[in-house]
Amino acid sequence: MSIVRIDRLVEFDDEVWVLDYKLGDSEEAARYQAQMREYQVAMQSVYTGKKVLCALVFADGVLSEV
């Protein structure tokens, strides 16, 4: 069993953002889709009534919404 941890969680009045920082470049975004979906499902169960959005933040400065 591997341990996973959300890098940053930002809560607003009507939505929650799950951010995950990656050292690679933004061309690798597709490989993290499953990980971000797991985070989204988990946080949606905690933040019922709020929209949960996810994004990857890459070392090349690109933010990629999932």
CA dihedral defined by 34, 35, 36, 38, rounded to 10 degrees? 90
What one-letter code names the amino acid at 9?
A: L
Report field, pTM of the whole predicted structure over 0.85: yes
Whole-angstrom Cα distance, residue 14 to residue 5? 23
Each residue's pLDDT tens digit, 6-65: 999 999 999 999 999 999 888 888 999 999 999 999 999 999 999 999 999 999 899 999
